[in-house]
């Protein structure tokens, strides 16, 4: 399970996808398959979660990695480059961004 806390021990990546209601579920299915078949088995992977807005026009993917380099190696792999082309065909745009947790509440 993803844990949100301030830590220098992990890398947080939030990827947002802009989709249409007609392709939203297809994108989610494709992301679920990517995590089940490939991403979750990569070195350094900790956890991830998928989120969708009510209008089904945005999907957010929150993932955690042991190190920035682990995420980058996965992203640059031949398998993930192939899967990213599939994801790109299902959405208007997507952008993975690395973040550091600064503060948490609750």
**Token code pair at residue 26:** 């297809």
Please report whether residue 49 resides in a domain. Answer: yes
**Token code pair at residue 48:** 């991830």
Burial group, residue 64, by CB count within 10 angstroms (0-12, 13-18, 19+): buried
Please report whether residue 1 resides in a domain. Answer: no
pLDDT per residue rounded down to tens, the chain (106 residues):
767 777 778 899 999 999 999 999 999 999 999 999 999 999 999 999 999 999 999 999 999 999 999 999 999 999 999 999 999 999 999 999 999 988 888 7
Tell me the per-residue pLDDT of 39-64, one tens digit each, with 9 for 90 and over.
999 999 999 999 999 999 999 999 99
Please report whether residue 31 resides in a domain. Answer: yes
Domains held by the chain: number: 1
Please report whether residue 2 resides in a domain. Answer: no
pTM of the model: 0.91
State which residues form the domain around 58: 11-99
- Specify the CATH number for the domain of residue 88: 3.30.70.100
């Amino acid at each position: 399970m993803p844990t949100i806390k301030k830590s220098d021990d992990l890398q947080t990546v939030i990827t947002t996808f802009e989709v249409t209601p007609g392709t939203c579920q297809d994108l989610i299915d494709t992301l679920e398959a990517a995590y089940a078949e490939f991403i979750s088995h990569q070195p350094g992977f900790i956890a991830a979660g998928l989120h969708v807005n009510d209008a089904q026009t945005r999907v957010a993917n929150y993932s955690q990695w042991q190190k920035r380099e682990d995420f980058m190696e996965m992203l640059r792999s031949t398998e993930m480059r192939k899967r990213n082309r599939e994801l790109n065909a299902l959405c208007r745009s997507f952008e993975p961004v690395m973040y550091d947790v600064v503060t948490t509440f609750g």
